[in-house]
Structure 1
Amino acid sequence: MNGTAPAVFPGAVEICGVGACRGGWLAVHALPGRTLPTARVFPRFGFLLDAIGEDAQIVVGMPIGLPERIEGPGRAAEKAVRPLLGMRQSSVFSMPARRAVVAAAPPYASELARREAHQRCCAVARQTSHPPRGVSIQGFSMFARILELDAILRARPALLARVVEGHPEVAFMALNGGTAMATPKRVRNVVDAAGIEERRALLLRHAIPRDFLHAPPPPGAALVDSVDGAALLLVAARRAVGTARPYPDPPAQDAHGLPIAIWA
């Protein structure tokens, strides 16, 4: 697909790219036979599941599968994709072991409680990793969403056939013929216009319509969330037609049977 005209999404099922956002979860969703995806924010992942078809393929930009112990720089999934990303590999956080994520124990009654939870999480992370490694504040901020998703998948294991982990920068790399993006999306936590435009241009080449790419994000989400969600939507489209692959292949697995792999 090398033009700018939108194409019909392939496959015979609904597809959905999902990422965490300020308002909860941003879902970029497309129906088979349609050309324009939609973006909507859901406060809970369960609400998102209730709103889309029971057969929808969902790629979520959030870690799935938490090992009991971490050897080296993260899970098998993180170690598999980092070498593919070049200058963008810092976008892949090293996840700690399950006990460290659980030790975060959100919500927090105060800023002091949040800091104490981060310290508690770091202490457990160092005990359950080799070499000992703490947890960044940025990674720690993801843990409430990770635990929400983890609880749903453990309670409803049938979802694992159609809800898989993705990562926006790995998705962009795959869509770009195996070459990572040349520019970052953020510089010092500020959105980088050149990075957004590079990704928009790539998404446009892969049939994401211009109207969607330049529409304001829904309340509770940011522009970066919409761009990332569109990339994950295209991974869901690749899964729908059997061209996506997991990293590592075959996926690893945690003690609860959850797969550990990033799809692209």
Structure 2
Amino acid sequence: MSTFPDHALVAGVDGCPAGWIAVTWDGGPALASHLCRNFAEVMALTATIIAVDMPIGLPESSGRPPERAVRQRLGERQSSVFAVPSQTAIYCDDYAEACRVNLLHSDPPRKVSKQCFHLFPKMREIDALVTPELQARIFESHPELAFWVMNGETPLPLPKKVKSSPYGPGLDLRRALLRRAGLPIDDLKSDYRRRDVGADDLLDACACAFVAWRILNGRSMRFPQDPPRNPRGLRMEINA
């Protein structure tokens, strides 16, 4: 049973080109979106629970149990769950150096994808701000795992992107799942410039808001059930 106050506000958060897009909800008939320049602005929102699509708890060696636990449930969508590089690699500013360092801190040795490397600044931002104590409020999530829950714990048959471009049928499927889950997405502000917030970014933030609401109400799942901690004491888990 939830120990949080009635009518509490939750936030779902996804990284976007302009920073972070947050969607807040109090369980009522409207969602609100907030474009935040940095994660400190996200934390300043009055949300009781924040669920964010970004790793919390960076590993000493590349790869974490949460991604392994989640990937096996997502079928063809498992490619959206990447192996988190080692913390040492994530703090590299140069791509070639990040690959070299991660090869030394992974078994089997693996380099870093360019897509993952571009997320390093956001990973470092969260790593600098989130403490074990703050994990009572800030939780790691993953949109595709959230949609898996909404879809009756069944992998989605359609991707949200094809060749790095938004895929209409896949986005429509996710909108339908959000509506069926009770999120009032149709009046949500979505007129951001594409170069600032992508259509998929906003839907992913809504999916994370769904997870935050489940956490608030004591209905969430976490993977793995007994999460390990990194050297800083941060739980390494993905919530849904």
What TM bracket, shorter-length normalisation? over 0.9
Per the TM alignment, residue 11 of structure 1 is displaced from its structure 2 partner at its CA by: 5.3
- Structure (1/2) with the larger helix percentage: 1
Q: Distance in 2 between matches of 1:27 and 1:232?
A: 9
Q: Classify the secondary structure of the residue corresponding to 1:252.
A: coil
- Which of 180, 189, 193 is matched with 2:164 structurally? 189
Structure 1, unmatched stretches of 5+, are: 1-9, 105-116
Q: Answer yes or no: is 1:124 the counterpart of 2:97.
A: no
Larger radius of gyration: 1
Does the 8 A contact of 1:217 with 1:223 survive in 2?
no
Do the aligned partners of 1:11 and 1:240 also contact (CA within 8 Å) in 2? no
Superposed CA RMSD = 1.5
Correspondence 1:79-228 to 2 at 5 A: 79-104=68-93, 117-154=94-131, 157-212=132-187, 215-219=189-193, 220-228=196-204
Q: 1:37 aligns with which of 8, 13, 31?
A: 31
Structure 1 stretches of at least 4 aligned residues deviating more than 3 Å after TM superposition = none
Aligned length: 234
Aligned residue number for residue 58 of structure 2: 66
8 A contact 1:76–1:248 mirrored in 2: yes
| Counterpart for residue 231 of structure 2 | 255
Opposite residue 62 of structure 1, the aligned amino acid is M
Unaligned runs of 5+ in 2: none
Q: Distance in 2 between matches of 1:202 and 1:37?
A: 16
Following TM superposition, by how much is the alpha carbon of 1:44 offset from its aligned partner in structure 2, in angstroms? 0.8
Shift of 1:212: 3.3
Among 217, 223, 232, the residue aligned to 1:241: 217
CA deviation vs aligned residue, 1:25-83 (integer Å, no higher than 9, x gap): 10000135x22111111001111212324xx101000011111113xxx2111101000
Equivalent pairs: percent with the same residue? 37
Q: Give yes or no for contact 1:14–1:29 (8 Å, CA) kept in 2.
A: yes
Q: Aligned letter for 2:163?
A: R
TM-score by length of 2: 0.93
Q: CA 1:46–1:94 in structure 2 vs 1: closer, same or farther (change >3 Å)? A: same
Secondary structure in 2 matching 1:151: helix
Alignment check: 8 A CA contact 2:31 2:185 kept: no
The amino acid that maps onto 2:22 is: A
TM-score (norm 1): 0.85
Give the 3 Å change call, closer, same or farther, for CA 210–167 of structure 1 in structure 2.
Answer: closer
